[in-house]
Amino acid sequence: MDGHLVANLAEGVLKKSVTDFLDETSVYCGVDIFLLGPKLTPLAGGLNGDVDLLRDQRWRVAIYGDYLSSEHAKTRVLIHIDQLVCLSSFSLLLRRGTAYADPDC
């Protein structure tokens, strides 16, 4: 998922609504949930040992627990991400001046 959906990137803090949701889901499902920032991936090594790094812009979620609890938590997190993305695209449509609402959201 994109960083602007889960964090205020200018201030470097996670959104309270996101942390509250992850905390509630973690307690409800009995799992540990971690929100992981973007990965740094090495592109190529230079002759003098320098390595160029590519920053993946996607954030990741890691869920640990027994199988059924983890699957339940994963489903809840995926639904929440879908709601965040739909809300994000809906606000983009509103900013463009269209009154279109996606029926799937």
Residue 103 in any domain: the answer is no
Instruction: Find out whether 45 and 96 touch, Cβ atoms under 8 Å.
Output: no
Residue 101 in any domain: the answer is no
Q: Pick 34 or 54 by higher pLDDT.
A: 34
In terms of residue numbers, what domain contains 15? 3-95
User: Which of 14-18, 21-25, 64-68, 89-93 is the least confident region?
Assistant: 89-93
Residue 100 in any domain: the answer is no
Residue 79 in any domain: the answer is yes
Q: In the predicted model, is pLDDT for residue 72 greater than 90? A: yes
Burial class (CB in 10 A: 0-12, 13-18, 19+), 42: exposed
Helix segments in the chain, DSSP class H:
3-6, 16-29, 67-95
Q: How many domains does the chain have?
A: 1
CA distances from 46 to 9, 51, 54, 92 (A): 31, 6, 14, 41
Average pLDDT, the chain: 77
